Structure 1
Amino acid sequence: MTRKHLPGILAMAAIVVASNILVQFLFGQWLTWGAFTYPLAFLVTDVMNRVYGAGPARKVVIAGFVVGVICSLIGTQIMGEYGPLVTLRIAMGSGLAFLTAQLLDVAIFDRLRQGKWWRAPLVSTLVGSSIDTALFFTIAFSDALSFLEPSNDVSWATEGLPLLGAGPIVPLWVSLGLADWLVKLSLALVALVPFRAIVAHLEGSRAAT
């Protein structure tokens, strides 16, 4: 890791910290503000992968994971209305989902990097985002994994409600996860624009030096 990789590390750290803060604030009925900042982590990973390669991209992911663990540890010490802001299950789900999804993103991007410019960032982000959402919401809120933290009452998340307010009856956490996933998919498409621009700028800067 060299000094030229520092902006990627700082960007990833900023996204992780911002998302951990903004996840405390609701946006509508199914989302939090953190849902709109967290997907930017895939943009950072993909830019690093395209410009510097898979190795530096993985190191940026590890840096983001470490920052996330620190945020989770801090969150466990802050008491909200119903207990710690970050429970053990949320910490486990967040960390495992981030690390798995981001490293998978790096691997898929690296495999597809020789194709059309949009293919690697789009496919890797779509797959990574899907895995991220499935892992986090299942680990954090599924009743089937209540043994991970028996003292944590997640009955509010397992209450049966219409899917996104209009579909079949499912646990609330399924609606939350689906809404989060749809935001990630939308931002994966939107992020192609800044991805193209940032990569062109960085590659132009490298060529000029």
Structure 2
Amino acid sequence: MTRILPGVIAMAAIVVASNILVQHLFGQWLTWGAFTYPFAFLVTDVMNRVYGVTAARKVVFAGFVVGVICSLIGTQIMGEFGPLVTWRIAIGSGIAFLTAQMMDVAVFDRLRRGAWWRAPLASTLVGSSLDTALFFTIAFSAQLAFIEPANDVSWANEVLPLLGIGPQVPLWVSLALADWMVKLSLALIALVPFRAIVTRISPDVA
């Protein structure tokens, strides 16, 4: 456990920071949390490359527990329009995080023997896409209103041009697409710190 403690701490810090920063808007389609959360995949991939699948899964589970605690705290804090975290958001966040991160671990492990960049890039792209699809659908889709009937998500289902310029879609689809685009961009950028961190920790597996 000691060897993966830095990974656990880093994952916990990213999850906590993202839960705080998601409350603050960045432009029309994003929150500041969109720029911190994707680095959870970087932590998972570093742990996977250096210490293996089992260690990576332990770090993911630690992040999941921290995320659940943050969500539960958020449901008890009242903001201007109700709880900072609704039960739909809490459920969507938990399911998306655990499913996407575990998929990231599995894809990375399958590709670990290829070129150094292929496993972290492919696993993050797959995991990020799954995370975005699950979270936004569970948290805001009108079709899943039965999850929390008392939670009014009509604002998220207002039909508007996609990202302000495309075809007419529910607002949450634009939010999801913007979030996904940030994740994909950071997946490429994260290759630089991934290579540097792995080389520093364990040059023989870099």
Question: TM-score per shorter chain, which class?
Answer: over 0.9
Residue 172 of structure 2 aligns to which amino acid in structure 1?
W
Please, which runs of 5 or more residues in structure 2 have no aligned partner?
Answer: none
Separation of aligned partners in 2, 1:25 and 1:191: 23
Q: Which residue of the partner structure matches residue 193 of structure 1? A: 192
Structure-1-length-normalised TM-score: 0.97
Aligned pair count?
Answer: 205
Structure-2-length-normalised TM-score: 0.98
Separation of aligned partners in 1, 2:70 and 2:110: 32
Residue 93 of structure 2 aligns to which amino acid in structure 1?
S
Deviation at 1:204, TM superposition (A): 3.7
Q: Which residue of the partner structure matches residue 31 of structure 2? A: 32
Q: Which residue of the partner structure matches residue 59 of structure 1? A: 58
- Identical residues among aligned pairs (%): 80
Residue 84 of structure 1 aligns to which amino acid in structure 2?
P
- Three-state SS of the structure 1 residue aligned to 2:196 is helix
Residue 79 of structure 1 aligns to which amino acid in structure 2?
M
1:1-209 to 2 correspondences below 5 Å: 2-204=1-203
Separation of aligned partners in 1, 2:41 and 2:30: 19
- Three-state SS of the structure 2 residue aligned to 1:161 is strand
Separation of aligned partners in 1, 2:85 and 2:164: 26
Q: 1:14-70: per-residue Cα shift (whole Å, max 9, x none)?
A: 000000000000000000000000000000000000000000000000000000000
Separation of aligned partners in 2, 1:205 and 1:179: 38
Separation of aligned partners in 2, 1:124 and 1:5: 20
Deviation at 1:205, TM superposition (A): 9.4
Please, which runs of 5 or more residues in structure 1 have no aligned partner?
Answer: none
State the superposition RMSD in angstroms. Answer: 1.0
